[in-house]
Structure 1
């Protein structure tokens, strides 16, 4: 017995009349009778008592109706669920992101996505760029919010925004007011992140400093920008961080514009070049819309 034959049986079990059941199914009565007989032969049980003026379910037929109706309802729910996932209305989206993105537009993107697709479950996983790249290639995440981008031939990267770097210094440090020339703090200890894998944002900072003839001699490495800012707050050194990070006040830290630094850092949304998932596609489109609106 297949699902189509089960549908025939359910129609007859509810109508208890071959003519009405056939009309309901949009078929002639003789083929319906043959299909029901085939089901009975396959199952080895009489499903209907056929009288001259009435059709009634047997005990076996009543049990098949109870179980079969539930099965068809479940199958209908499965088809609806799969259809909604295919349309992007339900399902799961796994998003990897660099921690500093939470200080920029990522919260706005996530709020907009949740509002547009409330039935889609989001898995949010903080990672550094190397982890994001590896996770995307291995299909452990669907999209990645990276800083500034992920350079890989298997990954499509779309820039969302750019921002300058600012100097994070202890609020007890004697630092001139106004924009800071990096040569004024060249002898300070620079807190760099992440420590590994390299190259990383730490190397972006080192190269940016070299571009203005500042060699970073005293270095302290840590794993992420949160720890870097925490170390700055207790006087362990200074750090260059994205301007969006500097927009959030933190006890013990004062942020300064940098006068002689043209290097900017960006945020991008990334996905595999062969990504076919509707959720990832919707997220990328929405992220770009939010970015354009905010910029």
Structure 2
């Protein structure tokens, strides 16, 4: 029994009249009768009781009618699901991100994407750059928000937002009303850097920026992520150089100063595989670019 035969049977079973069923199927009655006869032969069961003026379903026909309706409904549902997946209207999207992205535009990107594609399930996982790189290569992630950008010929990278670096320091430090900090004043403070490994990483961006500005960092404390770094700042263990967007979320025990002269800028990028074919990934990247343009 194939799909066409089942469709023919369901039409006749619903109409209980070969002529009306043929009209509904836009075909002549004799071919329809032959198809039903062939189906009965293949199944080895009589499906219709044929009278002079009426037909009715046999017990076997009733069972096929019951199961056939379920099969056709499942097929319609499957067709719709596959179409929606192909259009990117539903499915699953696995997103990796560096911690600093949550202070910037990532929440707005996720909010905007959810508003437009409510049936796509989002999985968000914080990672450092090395973990993001490995996860994209192994296809454990679909999209990665990285800082700095991931370098790999298999990846497509789009820069979303560039921002300056600022200084996070304990609010117990007396800055004498200053709103700016100079690197040379940091010589007596521990500089908190993250992540400690693997390297190179955002920490190297900060160290290289300091060296290029003529400041050799004398005192260093290493940790694994931004959240830990900010906690260490809050308890007075040192200062930390962070993307400017981090200051957008107030944190107890921490204040921020601009660094003058400006030592470097850092960019948040969205990265995905060059061979990525999933439509919902393309939709997500487009939403990310749209949100970034609005911010700029």
Could you state the TM-score of these two structures normalised by the residue count of structure 2? 0.97
- Hey, what's the Cα distance between the residues in 2 that align with 1:40 and 1:66? 16
Q: 5+ residue gaps in structure 1?
A: none
Residue ranges of structure 2 left out of the alignment (5+ in a row): none
Deviation at 1:144, TM superposition (A): 1.0
Equivalent residues in 2 for 1:20-59 (5 A)?
20-59=20-59
Aligned to 2:218: 217
2: distance between equivalents of 1:187 and 1:208? 18
Q: Equivalents in 2 of 1:154, 1:250: separation in Å?
A: 38
- The alpha carbon displacement at 1:269 in A equals 1.0
Partner of 1:84: 84
User: d(CA) in 2 for partners of 1:133 and 1:100?
Assistant: 17
SS at the partner of 1:172? coil
Residue 115 (structure 2) pairs with residue 118 (structure 1): no
Write the distance in 1 (CA, Å) between the matches of 2:52 and 2:241: 91
Cα distance between partner residues in 1 of 2:130 and 2:184: 31
> Deviation at 1:80?
0.7
- In structure 2, distance between residues paired with 1:217 and 1:22: 89
Give the Å deviation of 1:285. 0.8
1:70 aligns with 2:70: yes
Instruction: State the distance in 2 between where 1:22 and 1:62 align.
Output: 20
Q: CA RMSD in A?
A: 1.1
1:132 aligns with 2:135: no
Structure 1 residue 201 corresponds to structure 2 residue 202: yes
* Structure 1: distance between partners of 2:248 and 2:120: 31
Shift of 1:61: 0.3
**C-alpha separation between the residues in 1 aligned to 2:92 and 2:179?**
47
Tell me if structure 1 keeps the 8 A contact 2:195–2:224: yes
Post-superposition, which runs of at least 4 consecutive aligned residues in structure 1 deviate over 6 A?
Answer: none
Give the conservation status (yes or no) of the 8 Å contact 1:146–1:269: yes
Shift of the alpha carbon at 1:101?
0.5
Given that residues 157 and 269 in structure 1 are in contact (C-alpha distance below 8 angstroms), is that contact kept between their aligned partners in structure 2? yes
Query: Does structure 1 retain, via aligned residues, the 8 Å contact 2:149–2:269?
Result: yes
Secondary structure in 2 matching 1:4: helix
Match in the other structure for 1:246 = 247
Kept in 2: contact 1:166–1:241 (CA 8 A): yes
Instruction: For 2:121 and 2:85, locate their aligned partners in 1 and report how far apart those are by CA, in whole Å.
Output: 11
The DSSP-based 3-state class of the residue aligned with 1:217 is coil
Preserved CA contact (<8 Å) 1:212 1:261 = no
For 2:191 and 2:7, the matched residues in 1 are separated by 72
Q: Offset of 1:82 from its aligned partner?
A: 0.8
Q: Offset at 1:45?
A: 0.8
